[in-house]
Structure 1
């Protein structure tokens, strides 16, 4: 019989940690061999184990998950690291990948997608949630010389970027434009993709320098 894929979980929220443990242990071909509520515990124990995959949250008490991966990568060279988080901001994604994460999955992914991602990672792939993969692909786009980058933005996106440049919060922008904060965040995501930036500061700088 093929040995099961051994998985360790680093997640501070107990209900999520338990749900992931039940999911993994209940699926054929998988085994959850260890769970940790913080990065510090994982740093102490994981180098002593030979797990195949680590599911790592980012927002942990004490040391965050990205710094934990950065340290564990050298201590556990055969282990594959998958970020499993609610964060889809560009800064988080690229910092995690630079730290040594091999995959990036959002917690809202369906259970079967998570299991598929673990299998793909174990087999040598680098699974990403679709929104994350799009961010990665978009980061390679190079704006043609001489073109105005702001031309790719819609009028609403320009309105939002203009307000961000004045220091307004997402909630304040939503109030002025009479739209929901969620809609504002979606527009900002599109702005980041179109301008090929990873933060509000970069987007505003491009806007102020190009308008």
Structure 2
């Protein structure tokens, strides 16, 4: 018997209050052998009823739920079923809430519209005990949770702080800033449209250029920002102050 045949699929419970979005998410996972969708819920309250019944490995949780929020669901699930990993689905404007959800026990977050392969990769990551955090939020978390930049080193007198060795980099040195290779005005324009959720086809229509040209510009953007997809490009663009949402 091969190793692949002995692996059990990851049991996933999907929580999303918008029926059309939920239907779209479920369609993405059709035929994916590495996952088993064991249940769905349209509210936080329903999710708490489904968790003990479905016994999921991972909870794919919408943060913007009515009444009982995704943060409250996260806190309750981790208090009662700590073995369940929680992966938040969110939008950029909810980043403060994402931080609260991570503090409550979530293992990470994904932006809505993330390609299915990335979603599955993230589910596998949190199931394996890892985390899925975007660079911008990771830096904020460092600032929030960090007690000392060098916790293993002896404390220095207040009047004579220990200098940072030239070969080491403190956790907060990277404060964003422009990319090494600046984006052109057109590339910034396209990245701003992408950040608003515009498709390649729609961006081409807005800018009166071809879809092939849009794809070429995106390739240049990815290379300059050192990312591999639209979500990472938008995240990095916001982090560096190139665009806003």
Is contact 2:58-2:84 (8 Å) kept?
yes
The 5 Å alignment of 1:137-176 reads: 137=142
Normalization by structure 2: what TM-score? 0.55
Question: How far apart are the structure 2 equivalents of 1:112 and 1:64?
Answer: 27
Look up the match of 1:40: 45
Question: How far apart are the structure 2 equivalents of 1:48 and 1:75?
Answer: 13
1:113 and 2:118 equivalent? yes
Shift of 1:73: 1.1
- The equivalent position to 1:54 in structure 2, one of 41, 55, 59, is 59
Is contact 2:41-2:50 (8 Å) kept?
no
1:22 and 2:27 equivalent? yes
Aligned length: 156
Structure (1/2) with the larger helix percentage? 1
Q: Equivalent residue of 2:29, what SS?
A: helix
| Structure 1 runs not aligned, ≥5 long | 146-151, 155-181, 192-211
Is contact 1:56-1:83 (8 Å) kept?
yes
1:2 and 2:7 equivalent? yes
Q: Deviations over 1:61-116 (max 9, x none)?
A: 11111111111112212110010111454421220111110111111322111110
Question: How far apart are the structure 2 equivalents of 1:119 and 1:52?
Answer: 10
Question: How far apart are the structure 2 equivalents of 1:83 and 1:24?
Answer: 17
Question: How far apart are the structure 1 equivalents of 2:20 and 2:30?
Answer: 15
Look up the match of 2:99: 94
Look up the match of 2:17: 12
Question: How far apart are the structure 1 equivalents of 2:238 and 2:92?
Answer: 15
Question: How far apart are the structure 1 equivalents of 2:176 and 2:44?
Answer: 40
Gap change, CA 1:87 and 1:141, over 3 Å in 2: farther
Look up the match of 2:74: 69
| Structure 2 runs not aligned, ≥5 long | 1-5, 150-157, 159-174, 178-194, 196-235
Q: Equivalent residue of 1:63, what SS?
A: coil
Aligned-pair Cα RMSD in Å: 3.3
Question: How far apart are the structure 2 equivalents of 1:62 and 1:29?
Answer: 33
Q: Equivalent residue of 1:25, what SS?
A: coil
Gap change, CA 1:29 and 1:187, over 3 Å in 2: closer
Q: Larger C-alpha radius of gyration, 1 or 2?
A: 2
Question: How far apart are the structure 2 equivalents of 1:115 and 1:187?
Answer: 24
Normalization by structure 1: what TM-score? 0.63
